Chains A and B, each alone.
Chain A
């Protein structure tokens, strides 16, 4: 009889702890959303490197919320603890708290797996490490050859600050508005870095919005580019860029780091790591660690970042009216960023008597190298012999620096 009772209690305990009892309808909706995101990552290949772990993290946390559970401390009365443990063979090393004259052992309960991995996001460690890898993969040659590209990289950041205003008037607090605005930078790690500093509770919706729009660059940007430019402007052929010496490429990351870190210390973690990665690549003396930064480190951090950011998207937080507002505001930020890049491209074209094709301005929104490819593609639609890719890479990588600078401004102002 005891055996049967024990068996029934065991099964009952398992059922009580199972996901069927522990999760509610919001979790089931989020599980559905995670399936859609997994489909988009695997079948449509929308930013699969980040979307796949992100969607899986979302799936895991909604199936088993405890996987993101924070560690706890249980206060167990000393006598109760000692009576249930054989203190003859083990020493008790827990801290003791006295409450009302009674002594309690502070017995720790460890948190879930993803809680610990998430600390890299929460403490702002993963995004700069991703930037290290990006720096080790980026060729700043086109930007050094045509430094005016920095203006386009700066112009495309205006969308961030315009969206900030929209978010403020939609009722978000200043910190939330800053985090939402940074979606316009079209740079996933930067968006996560700023959000983790300013509004960690919005990390899930903002990361999903940022990476979704980055994946949708080829769909979002071309209509805006065509709307704001004439056929003649889109057909402009640009002069070949001057060759850039190795010495210039080596000095560039050092100069940028010194300047940005001195002027805007809050941008130093992102820009500094980006430039460290680039210096490793360009110096040519640390090939092994440059390759590690480009591949192994980048891949490991991407897994942790994607999975844990996805795991912040719990049903109770994600399924809110605020999420829809964030998604809409993110799209506005992206649109404005593209539009201002193009408009400044047009201004440059007027000032240099038609030597600049305004289409390269849209690449200033970061999203490397997708946004530059879009400039190339839209340009070639008007003139199949036009090659804008390398010209667009200048504003594109300037946009990475620009969005990191904008992130520093937001953290400095609102943090």
Chain B
């Protein structure tokens, strides 16, 4: 269709005002109402979830991490055992992110031996690509 045809479809002035105001008012009210309702729902949801998650936590205070990769006897105090400080920081951040800040303690970090001749990254790649549906 030619745009000129579309432009030619003019409405009377009063109808334009009426249509404009109706759309503005409806759009404004509906968009704000829906999003305000979502705010209420999310606040409620946050409170319910927080309350529900607090209960079981009281039973077991600050679990100690005993992940398969964290099995070193010697406490980690520096990068002298071959693991750079940056890597230690990343592992610590990952543990914090998983268990919550300050809720887990790292007792040691040890390099794991490559399984089946593959590096840890290679092994992760194989697992990712061969995991069944």
Contact = CB atoms under 8 A, between A and B. Distances in A.
Contact of A168 (B2, B20, B38): B20
A317 B7 CA distance: 13
Interface string A400-415: 0110011001100110
Interface string B38-50: 1101110110011
B122 interface: no
Given A169-B16, A247-B53, A157 B31 contact: yes
Interface string A247-265: 1100110011001100110
A148 B46 CA distance: 13
B131 interface: yes
Q: Chain B contact residues: over half helix, strand or loop, or mixed?
A: helix
Q: Chain A contact residues: over half helix, strand or loop, or mixed?
A: helix
Given A144-B46, A147-B43, A252-B45, A172 B6 contact: yes
Nearest to B33: A263
Contacts of A243: 100
A204 B108 CA distance: 60
Contact of B41 (A154, A178, A259, A264): A259
A84 interface: no
A288 interface: yes
B27 A251 contact: no
Contacts, number: 133
Contacts of A160: 27
B3 A288 contact: no
Contact of B4 (A176, A251, A260, A320): A320
Contact of B30 (A173, A401, A409): A409
B24 interface: yes
A343 to B, nearest CB: 14
Contacts of A202: 3, 6
A202 B36 CA distance: 33
Given A147-B39, A147-B46, A247-B49, 6 more contacts: A154-B32, A168-B16, A252-B42, A288-B131, A321-B4, A402-B35
